[in-house]
Amino acid sequence: MIRITREADYGIVLMTALAQAEGQPRSAALLAQQRRLPLPMVSKILKALARAGLLASQRGVQGGYQLARPATEISAADIIGALEGPIAITECSDELHDGCARQEHCEVSGHWPRINQAIHAALQSISLLDMSRPDPLQPLHFHPLHRAMTSQLASRPV
């Protein structure tokens, strides 16, 4: 199973709360309370998102955090990348990785960059605005090959 970290998950939750705040600054304490998340983790995440340029912070009584750009211009890939680093499905396919000792004998290494690009493109196509709105129920659409394989498996004798 491919998973994002708890930090990235909370980061998306916090960013959606800020998108819903419509430009009104929110303190780390208020966000932690509203989203029922631990304050130390919320503070750490908000600081990292601010360092990455996704949030602006203001000090003072009316201070707090707010989005640095419109929610339409921030993607799920931006948030995950800010908190986890480069999006890569395997270590050897990470752009920063220096190579793999097994690469000469690996028959699949050339395919990982293409898979990474597909995942990155999918995450890049989902804006923070999209994430901050309720998801309407949508019917599931299966790939035709998946449907054909499913019907073949179903017709096999057990």
Is the pLDDT assigned to residue 148 strictly greater than 70? no
- pTM of the predicted structure, to 2 decimals: 0.77
Answer for the pair 29, 39: CB distance below 8 angstroms, yes or no. yes
User: Left, alpha or beta for 38 (phi > 0: left; psi -120 to 50: alpha)?
Assistant: beta
pLDDT tens digits, residue range 35-57?
999 999 999 999 999 999 999 99
Residues 59, 106 contacting (CB under 8 angstroms): no
Q: pLDDT tens-digit profile of 69-98? A: 999 999 999 999 999 988 887 766 555 555
What domains can be seen in the chain, in order of their start residue? 6-85+127-131 (1.10.10.10)
CA 34, CA 17: separation in Å to the nearest integer?
Answer: 9
pLDDT interval class at 34 (50, 70, 90)? very high
